[in-house]
Amino acid sequence: MYRIIALLVCSVGVLAADRPNILWFVVDDMSANFSTYGEKTISTPNVDRLAREGVQFNRAYVTAPVCSPCRSALITGMYQTTIGAQHHRSGRGELKINLPADVTPVPKLLQQAGYYTCIGSGLPDFDFRGLPFGAPKGKKAKANNADRLGKTDYNFEWDAKMYDSSDWSGRKANQPFFMQVQLHGGKLREGPESVRVEFRKRIVAELGAGTDPQKVVLPPYYPRDPVLLQDWADYLDSARLTDLHVGRVLARLEKEGQLANTLIVFMTDHGISHARGKQFLFDEGTQIPLIIRGPGIAAGQVRNDLVEQIDLTALSLAAAKVAIPVGMQAQDILATNYQARTEVFAARDRCDETTEKIRSLRTERFLYLRNYHPERPHLQPCAYKDGKDIVKQLRVLHAESKLSPLTEQLLFSPTRPKEELYEYVVDRWQVRNLATDPAFTSVLENHRRLLDAKLVATRDPAPESEAMYDSDMKPYVGKGNPEVQLNIDQMKKWASEGK
């Protein structure tokens, strides 16, 4: 809980030119697979340009590895566990989630400070996929329609009026704007085979050729199976389309004379959607690209200190000359007096119908995870994940005993360790658990204490009540998805057994 001491540090007479526009690129389901971050299979010149002209953060992490908790945290500058928004797609049933009285979403704070707040694609005639707004060829799409607002996905009740529009073109003369450019990112490759075929045709049409599946580099625990290779190639092509969209937004800013006075943040909402990525607290799920370019930011910087995605909230308020609320957990990582974080925190809770609780704490060299349901498998039943061809194929290969021992251990072990400890700076994919290694006992105990203290400081919530779970499940069931009800029954059975 926190209170706002002062909203504005600028006077009423401050000119708009003294405050920059603020533009966030928020991309779905994508890790740092851009050439500026060392990805060699593809080229991403526009994201690379942002890095070249600004500051690139190499150790940025989300506080939740799935859309809605992460976005709930980002838009408030608070850990999702602190504000009660930790369960994915929660508060959508009869029982609602309300923010603490003294927590205000950032768009509202900026709006009160005179900013024109908008959320959309950054291109008035195109949607979050970079495609025309469902209009026939040659027909101009109308800008600023309410249904063109970009993705929010917040887990709490909020006032839609905190966004003025889907695009900054409707603002008053000289009024600064806060724009969230919400892009489909890694989700571009998803859907039935017919959709993926059309996606690949689009890649050829817009980028000349698709990525060769045989050239992709997979994490060591994923087999070089044709299904997984093609999916990863499609994923890299979704990064190329994202880069193309970024370039078009930058070109628009330049054409309108706004680029020089716009603070640009490029980030994703979590890592790649895969069996050990999205929804999980390893690097594959929590590490994201983060690049900031804008007024007063020296070009060509690279920072290797630990930062959390929620820090973008405090940074943006500071840029707008709006006081950062006392008690906000985000920090202004560009402040001259900023003290680098010594640890970052992340949490995984229920995702759709699948109940889960995992907490992690990362320090300079080590990643510590605590599993609260160690008697359940890593790949618990989950209709969303089990519907993906890559997971289906992994399950087929597992049933046929065609997976490596490492893959079997990490993905298909029927249980998990209570604690995991990885020296992630040398163990890139977190495959060697050091928690039972006597040589790392003191490291384990220290990280255990650090996490315990973090849970107290952030008021880690009690388990979700059965009433809340049942309320949140109502929007899921009865939609031709019987596997969801089966999974709900399984979750309740495991809970009754103490698992």
What's the CA dihedral at 339, 177, 186, 356 to 10 degrees?
Answer: 60
pLDDT over 80 at 429, yes or no: yes
Mean pLDDT throughout 296-310? 97
DSSP conformational letter for 475: T
Dmax over Cα atoms in the chain, in whole Å?
71
- Give the per-residue pLDDT at 18: 83
Confidence bin at 291 (pLDDT 50/70/90): very high
How large is the average pLDDT for residues 357-378? Answer: 98
What burial class does residue 14 get, using C-beta atoms within 10 Å of its C-beta: 0-12 exposed, 13-18 middle, 19+ buried? Answer: middle
Q: In this structure, what token pair is assigned to residue 59?
A: 């150790």
* More confident position, 353 or 14: 353
* Span 478-492, average pLDDT: 93
What letter would DSSP give residue 214? G
Residue-level pLDDT at 481: 87
Assign 89 to helix, strand or coil.
Answer: coil
Q: Angle between the 226-255 and 45-52 helix axes, to the nearest 10 degrees?
A: 60
Q: How much is the pLDDT for 147?
A: 67
Would you say 397 and 404 are in contact if contact means Cβ atoms under 8 Å apart? Answer: no
DSSP 182: E
Q: Is the pLDDT of residue 142 over 80?
A: no
Distance CA 305, CA 343 (A): 10
Other C-beta atoms closer than 10 Å to the C-beta of 187 total 18
Question: What tens digit of pLDDT does each residue of 370-381 get?
Answer: 999 999 999 999
Q: Are 89 and 382 in contact (CB under 8 A)?
A: no
**Mean local confidence (pLDDT), 234-256:** 98
Asked if pLDDT for residue 135 goes beyond 70, the answer is no
DSSP 334-365: T-TTPPPBS-EEEEE--BTTB---EEEEE-SS
* pLDDT tens-place string over residues 108-131: 999 999 999 999 999 999 999 999
Is a pLDDT exceeding 80 seen at residue 362? yes
The token duo for 61 is: 């992490």
Domain ranges in the chain are 20-134+144-334
How much of the chain, in percent, has pLDDT values that exceed 70? 94
The mean pLDDT value for 39-55 works out to: 98
CATH 3.40.50.720, applies to 20-134+144-334:
no
Give mean pLDDT, residues 311-335: 97
Instruction: Indicate the SS3 state at residue 143.
Output: coil
| Model confidence at 413: pLDDT above 60 | yes
| Type of residue numbered 321 | K
Dist CA 460 CA 454 (whole Å): 8
pTM of the model: 0.94
Give whole-number Cα distances, 44 to 164, 277, 278, 385, in Å.
32, 22, 22, 28
Helix runs in 287-436, H state only: 311-319, 383-386, 389-399, 405-412
- Asked if pLDDT for residue 102 goes beyond 60, the answer is yes
Q: What is the pLDDT of residues 3-17, one digit of tens each?
A: 333 333 333 333 445
pLDDT at residue 6 in the model: 35
Q: What is the Cα gyration radius of the chain?
A: 22
